[in-house]
């Protein structure tokens, strides 16, 4: 429910962009981001700004090339996004935030029950291994239907 206290908690008017992370949000996210690799040069990019850039793209749905100039370059944000997806950082971050949300709602960290309705079961029965295999096969075309055939002579 929106109360005076809740409005203050969710007020994002003091941030540069509504998608930027607050101090409390950054404190949660920072734990899941891996440190810089050993060896080589020191990390010169501000990882919080990279996360702000990633959150901007996700919240606005803009194209990578439309990231504002005051955020890190799109290549940097995209590089970290790909790296974090590859090494599982985004999955760990999602899981940590999911568990925290459930605990705030005074529920167990993981659900103990699931509901499957009849529509889900029906759609599962309809597919099956055979239809998946057919969908993944390359389409076959007869040579007779195409405009060229091996029986047509070429003019030299």
Enter the tokens of residue 115.
């509901």
Question: Which own/partner contact pairs does 45-53 have at CB distance under 8 Å and 24+ positions apart?
Answer: 45/72, 45/76, 45/80, 46/72, 47/80, 48/21, 50/76, 50/77, 50/80, 51/21, 51/26, 52/16, 52/17, 52/19, 52/20, 52/21, 53/77
What pLDDT does residue 149 have?
47
Percent of the chain with pLDDT over 90: 38
Chunked into runs of 10 residues, the chain (156 residues) has average pLDDT values of 76 86 90 87 91 94 93 95 94 90 80 73 55 54 53 50
Tell which residue, 48, 59, 50, has the closest CA to residue 26.
Answer: 48
Tell which residue, 102, 18, 119, 130, has the closest CA to residue 68.
Answer: 18
CA 74 to chain centre: 16
Distance CA 19, CA 82 (A): 20
Residue with structure tokens 């096969």? 137
């Amino acid at each position: 429910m929106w109360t005076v206290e809740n409005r203050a908690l969710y007020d994002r008017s003091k941030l540069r962009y509504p998608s930027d992370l607050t101090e409390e949000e950054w404190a949660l996210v920072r734990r899941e981001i891996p440190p810089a690799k050993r060896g080589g040069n020191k990390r010169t990019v501000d990882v919080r700004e990279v996360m702000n850039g990633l959150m901007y793209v996700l919240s606005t749905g803009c194209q990578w090339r439309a990231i504002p100039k005051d955020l890190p370059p799109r290549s940097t944000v995209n590089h970290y996004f790909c790296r974090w997806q590859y090494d599982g950082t985004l999955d760990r971050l999602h899981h940590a935030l999911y568990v925290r949300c459930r605990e705030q709602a005074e529920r167990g960290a993981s659900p103990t029950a699931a509901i499957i309705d009849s529509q889900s079961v029906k759609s599962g029965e309809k597919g099956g291994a055979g239809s998946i295999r057919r969908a993944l096969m390359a389409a076959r075309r007869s040579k007779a239907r195409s405009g060229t055939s091996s029986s047509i002579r070429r003019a030299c």
